[in-house]
Structure 1
Amino acid sequence: MRINVLQHTPNEGPGSIKEWSTSGGHELYIYHPYQFDGILPTADQTDMLIILGGPMSPNDSNEWILNERKLIQKLLNQNVPIFGACFGAQQIAKTLGYTIGKSPAKEVGWAPVYLKSNAIPDLPKKLVALHWHEEMFEIPEEAELLFSSDLLENQGFVMNHRVIGLQFHFEPQADDVREIVVNDGQYTEGSLLKQSPEDILNYPIPKENREVMFQLLDYITN
């Protein structure tokens, strides 16, 4: 299977998603449309699409952001598996015609999320995830609410056994968290989670996050 990854900033890579791809013997291609003239894969090159986070908004008018949504729409029409994290989840919701706006709370740091759906078997009822956002998506009518947090209800959705969008991050491993924080630690300012960059770096990454990330990817590809 060819897995195409859309990465939107240098310090937010695929993390454990890459491990999942390697363990399954898949081919992973990483695109950087924000940097390389908007280069994107085509739909016929894509067996699975991963859309990662980034500092931009789906409401921005960059041509590559609009072209990403054209790709997402084609893949939705073809029932291709899609996973989106943060900006990626917002792009999916925006493609489906739903609003992306300011969250009632800026969340930056580690905080619990709570399972709201039984659509995916055997997921824990509560997990601690990395949050790095101040915008939010509307839950598409076609989808089911998957996760909520204490500060924000719309933290995740699942749709048609093929699409998952999460506002937060399960994918970062220790090196990934370090890369995020050393480059973007100032973003913690104004977060209602009130965690410093050092707090975030020192928090032990829950081992179950990698396991759940694998479960989510297995679910949309089986």
Structure 2
Amino acid sequence: MTSRDALPKPVLIVLHQETSTPGRVGRLLRERGHPLDIRRPRFDDPLPETLEHHAGAVIFGGPMSANDEDDFVKREIAWCAVPLREAKPFLGLCLGAQMLARHLGARVYPHEGGRAEIGYYPLQPTAEGTRLSARLGVDWPGHVYHWHREGFDCPRGAATLATGDDFPVQAVRAGPAAYAFQFHPEVTYAMTCRWTTRAHERLSLPGAQPRKAHLEGRLMHDPPVQLWLDAFLDHWLAGGMVDAAPNGSAMIDRAAAVSR
């Protein structure tokens, strides 16, 4: 093995706006030695045909919907077949989680009462999620940061790891190494300030919390989020092969069929 081979592979980072950043996830990956290969398919950046040369991939959030008809949205949804087929670490956050769900045939939908989750909301681990916590050695955070008006169902054959109130499915594992989180563990203080300023009109939606609650909530709830994310990323980068979701191999086979 050459010294070049021993270097950590880059992680593919998929963003959706010109000013978007990978936040805390990006920082923690760089601290582990992984370069960030940042792509923005919305602005015509291509996605790789294989993740052979990447350690994993993260699709982040954005103001668009996984139900939109834009070409780049459809391309990203279809591209989810690549990490599933290759059993490479994949993480979908908010929009990215909904894209994975859509790829696997699950519903992405608005709340029937028109409610949104924008701010900090409770998170409850399932039995599967509790088993993951035992592997990580860190409990799930009790509250996590949200910014969304749509949720998703758990795809057939996947495992629900955590639930919420208005949007029941909050975290999912599909196959051995693909995870989908409806919440935003990557958010930094600067991102919270930016989102609540530039998109302040969203704070008036039913169920959304006022800006003051976002900032106060961060002081109360963010330290456990950071501890949990730090432990989770080590598990994720290792491939998450322990306690794979039921029917994980069938799900990978289905992804391979979709990509052909």
The answer to whether the 8 A contact 1:147-1:156 is kept is yes
1:10 & 1:183 partners in 2: Cα distance?
14
Q: CA deviation at 1:23?
A: 1.7
Question: Which residue of structure 2 aligns with residue 68 of structure 1?
Answer: 76
Higher strand share: 1
Change (3 A) 1:147 1:11: farther
Q: What is the root-mean-square deviation of aligned Cα atoms in Å?
A: 1.9
The answer to whether the 8 A contact 2:138-2:227 is kept is no
Question: Which residue of structure 2 aligns with residue 112 of structure 1?
Answer: 122
Q: CA deviation at 1:37?
A: 2.2
The answer to whether the aligner puts 1:39 opposite 2:46 as a matched pair is: yes
1:133 & 1:187 partners in 2: Cα distance?
9
Question: Which residue of structure 2 aligns with residue 163 of structure 1?
Answer: 178
Question: Which residue of structure 1 aligns with residue 24 of structure 2?
Answer: 16
Moved more, 51-60 or 146-155: 146-155
Higher helix share: 2
2:166 & 2:77 partners in 1: Cα distance?
28
**Could you say which structure has the larger radius of gyration?**
2
Question: Which residue of structure 2 aligns with residue 216 of structure 1?
Answer: 232
Q: CA deviation at 1:214?
A: 2.0
Change (3 A) 1:123 1:146: farther
Structure 1 alignment gaps of length 5 or more:
none
How does the TM-score come out when normalised to structure 1? 0.90
Change (3 A) 1:9 1:119: farther
Q: Deviations over 1:124-183 (max 9, x none)?
A: 255211111111111012211111123221111123330111111111111121122111
Q: Deviations over 1:86-131 (max 9, x none)?
A: 1000000111111111124311111121111234123425521111
Q: Alignment length, in residue pairs?
A: 220
Moved more, 135-144 or 210-219: 210-219
Question: Which residue of structure 2 aligns with residue 129 of structure 1?
Answer: 144
1:109 & 1:101 partners in 2: Cα distance?
19
Structure 2 alignment gaps of length 5 or more:
1-8, 239-260
Q: Aligned partner of 1:60: which letter?
A: D
